[in-house]
């Protein structure tokens, strides 16, 4: 998917309007805040878990969740994360134990 000019994820200080950090790679994505983290869904279906801090962009995980265009923000309910594209919907169980690690 081509890069969209001006499509930059930014952390902005609410009191001053000053940009704290910026990150490219999500195009016209969306995000939600959960438990001190940003759950970011890029327009191309890539997801990232980012620490919600003004000190810098601190990505903890990234993976390809969907293949088609995604413009709907993720939804989180009872430990389940729902993401959808123009073609599919996925439910990720965030309460399941992490096996093999």
Instruction: Find the farthest-apart pair of alpha carbons in the chain and give their distance in angstroms, rounded.
Output: 45
What confidence tier does 96 reach under pLDDT thresholds 50, 70, 90? low
Write down the domain spans for the chain: 9-93
pLDDT in tens, 72-88: 999 999 999 999 999 99
- Residue burial 24-61, b: 16+ Cβ < 10 Å; e: rest: ebbbebbbeeeeebbbbbbbbbbbbbbeeeeeebeeee
Q: Which of 52, 91, 20 is nearest to 40 (CA)?
A: 52
pLDDT in tens, 36-79: 999 999 999 999 999 999 999 999 999 999 999 999 999 999 99
Tell me the CATH architecture of domain 9-93: Beta Barrel (2.40)
Work out the angle at residue 52's Cα, subtended by the Cα atoms of residues 40 and 90, and round it to the nearest 5 degrees.
Answer: 25
């Amino acid at each position: 998917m081509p890069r969209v000019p001006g499509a930059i994820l930014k952390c902005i200080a609410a009191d001053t309007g000053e940009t704290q950090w910026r990150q490219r790679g999500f195009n016209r994505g969306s995000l939600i805040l959960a438990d001190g983290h940003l759950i970011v869904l890029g327009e191309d279906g890539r997801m990232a878990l980012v620490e919600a801090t003004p000190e810098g962009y601190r990505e903890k995980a990234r993976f390809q969740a969907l293949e088609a265009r995604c413009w709907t923000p993720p939804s989180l309910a009872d430990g389940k994360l729902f993401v959808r594209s123009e073609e599919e919907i996925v439910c990720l169980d965030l309460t399941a134990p992490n096996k093999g690690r």
